[in-house]
Amino acid sequence: MNLKTPPTAVYPSTTINSLDYLDMTEIHLDQTSQKIPDPVKFVSIEELHAFPLPKALESLPPSVFQQFLESKDLLQGYLKQLKAYQEKQLEIIDQLGELDNILENVIHKQLIKDYAALVDKINQQIKSINIIYQEFLNLETYQYQLLSNNFNQDILKLKFKKLLEKTNQDSLNIVKNYHEKGESTDDDFNNMIENFKESRKLYHSRKEKLHRWEEERVSGFV
């Protein structure tokens, strides 16, 4: 049984390189020229300069002033009109604008695009791995076929019979070549006889082994 030569493995041009993979994963904000601003610090009561109270509040009648102290809305309104509060509010708005710019221009337009390209490259490499793995399975199957054929008793016997036929033909060729040579010396004749005897000896030895093998008196040949 003759096996066809396995097809030459053709692997994709995209190969997996650990260094290349590390380069692909180095996608983060450090690659951008923009830096995430530090969190805005809370403003303290001292920094608000809420005290002393304005004279207009201090001059209110006690009952009205008490209402002011007990009203959450009035207290918030008083705090929101303070200069330190308004400056802190503007600082927060500015920082929100910076963060919105980073979200739009860096994360949305750049990082998401980079990660999409990374995902695509990973998928291509997974596809390459699957192709290589399938090629491995094909070669593994071919290897098992070779092993099966090389150690199959029937096939080994067939090969040995062909070898026996060749040995017999070699013996006949020795005599044939001698006659075709034409004129020959005694040495030529003696050499032909010796070669023929050795060839026949080998032939009968192999024939006997095959006979014993077919009778299962031997397990095979090594």
Q: Which of the 8 DSSP states describes residue 183? A: S
CA distance 174 to 192: 7
User: Phi/psi at 12 (nearest 5 deg)?
Assistant: -65, 155
Q: What is the pLDDT of residue 164?
A: 93
Buried b (16+ CB within 10 A) or exposed e, 13-38: eeeeeeeeeeebeebeeeeeeeeeee
Q: CA-CA distances (angstroms) from residue 210 to 101, 139, 147?
A: 88, 33, 22
For the chain, give percent helix, strand, coil, nearest 5.
75, 0, 25
CB 24 within 8 A of CB 118: yes
Q: Is 141 exposed, middle or buried (0-12, 13-18, 19+ CB in 10 A)?
A: exposed
pLDDT for 100: 82
- Torsion, Cα of 53, 55, 58, 64 (10° steps): -110
Check: pTM over 0.75? Answer yes or no: no
Q: How confident is the model over 50-96, as pLDDT tens digits?
A: 777 777 777 778 888 787 777 888 888 878 888 888 888 888 888 88
Cα angle 12-16-19, degrees, rounded to a multiple of 5: 150
- 87-128 pLDDT, tens digit each: 888 888 888 888 888 777 777 777 888 888 899 999 999 999
- Chain Cα centroid distance, residue 13: 13
CA-wise closest residue to 190 among 198, 201, 204: 198
Domains within the chain, CATH numbers bracketed: 18-150 (no CATH), 153-214 (1.10.287)
Residue 198 has a pLDDT of 93
Res. 140 pLDDT band, cuts 50 70 90: confident
